[in-house]
Amino acid sequence: MAVPDLADSPPVRRLADWDDQQLRSLAATHDTPLYVIDLDRVQANYQRFSAAFPDAHVMYAAKAHTGQSVLSALLDVGADIECAAWGELERSIQAGADPNTLQYTAVNPPAHDLDYAVDLAEDAPGLTITIGATDTLDRLAERGYDGRIAIRINPGIGTGHHEKVATGNDAKFGIPYEQVPDVAERVRAEFDLVGLHSHAGSGVLTDDLEDHCEAIERVGEMARRVGDLEFVDIGGGFGVPYHEDEPPLDLAKTSEMVRDAVGDIDAQLKLEPGRYIVADAGLILTTVNTIKETPTATVVGVDASLATLIRPAMFGSYHPMRNVTAPDREPEPVTVGGPVCTSADVFATDRPIARPERNDILAIGNAGSYGYELASQFHSQPRPAEVALEDGDDRVVRRRETLDDVTRVEQ
């Protein structure tokens, strides 16, 4: 894969920047609903972020998109990978990652996850396990593990686009701040303490940086209290503009503020962007099947649903939409919904879109992160195919599921 030139890569890719003719062709060839991921853009986003933090170790948070094509593309440009579950560890290795470079962030890890990580570490002592509870230390010790540990700090400050992703003040995540020095002492006695970790929240844009950096300041302070660390990992959470009128994250300002917030530490700074790397590199194509005029709304029915993209139903998230069949038609306010039997299955309400007609193809933007990852088989709907774009070509990287795939595990 050719490495993209950053000079040709803008800081944000809007939905209107995609090639409508190419998108129509993909829909005609591969049917809809269809996920599209641009691997050139994925690589460019990683390179741009890394260039803003030249002295830091930038990993990719796999949970944003664990497709093998995405992981392989990022490994090709030197990214390491942070994983939140055993399946992400395995998929990263299958994509070509050296297990010694992986970081596993355990959150209430099931027994199988810990078993897998401990077994993996026997042959890959460079694997780092991040713990957010002393109970996890007990469980690791029971399994005979005495290797690399990072302590996840709960800084008591949450940030991000929604309360459900503001992990920095959620008791589920991390060791309570003032308990960290005692836990560090225990880790040093029983394991190999290599780092501190924290993640304040997700979807952080330039205007949110002050709150985000307040949490980072606390991590830097704790790093100086604990001392003798290999790295300090401040997580990810850096956002992309979902609304068309939102400016992109100012990376230069972000880098400066983050460095100032961390302060002077005798350790490697680590970051784990996920959404920033893949969000604007992906979209969904969906076909209009129904137009219904009512006294209160023009309802546009499409073949994608909350089973395809759950973020609007789960978070109330805004995703840009575009009629790629006829983008020059006069815009009309419409409500766009899918075929799932719930009022939550709506992508947009009273949204001005070039007047849709039956069989038009609509594109739903910024679907590269937490899109396919959260897709389901609700209503017995097989999950969609995914097509990757790279070096001017396209290829199917996930075939469309069939009903046999949906029912295969039943007995």
| Residue 405 pLDDT | 96
Q: What is the pLDDT of residue 8?
A: 64
Q: Does 273 show up as a binding residue in the annotation?
A: yes
Q: Is 83 a catalytic residue?
A: no
For residue 282, list its beta bridge partners.
Answer: 37
Q: Mean pLDDT of successive 10-residue segments in the chain (411 residues)?
A: 61 96 98 98 97 96 97 98 97 98 94 98 98 96 98 73 45 87 97 94 78 89 96 92 93 93 96 97 98 95 98 95 98 97 96 98 98 97 98 97 96 89
Please name every residue paired with 389 in a beta bridge, in sequence order, or none if there are none. 38, 394
The reported pLDDT for the residue numbered 160 is 43
Task: Give the pLDDT confidence score for residue 136 in this predicted structure.
Answer: 96
Q: What angle do CA 310, 33, 333 make, to 5 degrees?
A: 70
Whether residue 275 is annotated as binding a ligand: the answer is yes
pLDDT (0 to 100) of residue 202 = 67
Cβ atoms < 10 Å from Cβ of 269: 20
Domains belonging to the chain, first-starting first, are 98-273 (3.20.20.10), 280-407 (2.40.37.10)
What is the distance between the alpha carbons of residues 9 and 13, in angstroms, rounded to a whole number?
A: 8
Backbone phi, then psi, for 193, in 5-degree steps?
Answer: -75, 120
Q: What is the pLDDT of residue 206?
A: 79
Please check if 274 is assigned to a binding site.
Answer: yes
| Distance in Å from the first CA to the final CA of the chain | 43
152 is in an annotated binding site: no
pLDDT of residue 5: 57
Out of 341, 380, 404, 411, pick the active-site residue.
341
Spell 136-163 as b/e; 16+ CB within 10 A means b.
bbebbeeeebebbbbbbbbbbbbbbbee
Predicted confidence at residue 326, as pLDDT, reads 98
Q: What is the pLDDT of residue 157?
A: 62
Q: What is the pLDDT of residue 162?
A: 38
Q: Alpha-carbon distance 81 to 97, whole Å?
A: 8
